[in-house]
């Protein structure tokens, strides 16, 4: 077993164990923190795969922005109710069905992957090693995937406009009540 394997196994453990802990911990803030640990390990995994840009983006977007907002929300609202066991158990039937479906899908994908293994070759171009990772991603985003890239931009713009619209409506309601 060489260093690469050791690092990979460490990262795999570092992602699965916090994932499980995030699900089973009662305290919502602790759950968010376990997700943070998970995301940091995920970023490291991306780094070991040679993708520096995605590592940085993973930390900035998920750890630095999304999770902070999550933390904000669980911080502001009192979640004592969810800490009680009964709320969790009441809908366990639906949960079990969902778990069954997920496990089924998981095995299905694993079997597909295993069938692929002999034919599987990384489809990365050889100039990946020459140019920096960032240059490579940028080149593909602005040539090959330009349409998708622009579409995502438009979708995000719509989200921002929606937020502004809702805020404006709220303000109008507030002004009327006075």
Q: What residues make contact with another protein under the rule CB under 8 A?
A: 2-4, 27, 29-30, 33, 36, 52-53, 55-57, 59-60, 63-65, 68, 71-72, 75, 132-134
Least CB distance from residue 4 to another protein, whole Å?
A: 6
Which of residues 19 and 47 has its CB atom nearest to another protein in the complex? Answer: 47
Least CB distance from residue 93 to another protein, whole Å?
A: 33
Least CB distance from residue 57 to another protein, whole Å?
A: 7
Least CB distance from residue 102 to another protein, whole Å?
A: 30
- The span from the CA of 126 to the CA of 32, in Å, is 40
Residue 155 tokens read as 């979708």
- The span from the CA of 59 to the CA of 43, in Å, is 7
DSSP percent split of the chain into helix, strand, coil, nearest 5: 85, 0, 15
Cβ atoms within 10 Å, residue 54: 18
Nearest Cα to Cα of residue 54 among 136, 125, 124, 146: 136
Which of residues 135 and 170 has its CB atom nearest to another protein in the complex? Answer: 135
Least CB distance from residue 152 to another protein, whole Å?
A: 19
Which of residues 3 and 114 has its CB atom nearest to another protein in the complex? Answer: 3
Map tokens 């602790």 to a residue. Answer: 30
Which of residues 108 and 139 has its CB atom nearest to another protein in the complex? Answer: 139
Which of residues 15 and 137 has its CB atom nearest to another protein in the complex? Answer: 137
Alpha helices in 25-145 (DSSP H): 28-48, 52-58, 67-76, 85-90, 92-116, 133-142
Residue 97 tokens read as 């069905």
């Amino acid at each position: 077993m060489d260093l690469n394997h050791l690092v990979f196994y460490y990262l795999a453990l570092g992602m699965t164990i916090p994932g499980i802990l995030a699900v089973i911990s009662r305290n919502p803030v602790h759950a968010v923190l376990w997700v943070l640990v998970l995301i940091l390990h995920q970023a490291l995994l991306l780094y070991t795969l040679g993708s520096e840009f995605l590592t940085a983006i993973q930390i900035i977007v998920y750890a630095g922005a999304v999770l902070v907002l999550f933390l904000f929300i669980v911080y502001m609202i009192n979640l004592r109710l969810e800490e009680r066991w009964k709320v969790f158990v009441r809908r366990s039937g639906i949960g079990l069905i969902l778990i069954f479906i997920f496990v089924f899908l998981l095995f299905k994908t694993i079997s597909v992957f295993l069938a692929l293994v002999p034919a599987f070759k990384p489809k990365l171009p050889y100039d990946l090693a020459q140019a920096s990772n960032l240059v490579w991603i940028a080149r593909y985003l602005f040539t090959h995937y330009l349409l998708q890239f622009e579409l995502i931009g438009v979708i995000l713009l719509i989200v921002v406009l929606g937020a502004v619209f809702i805020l404006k409506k709220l303000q109008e309601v507030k002004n009327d009540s006075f």
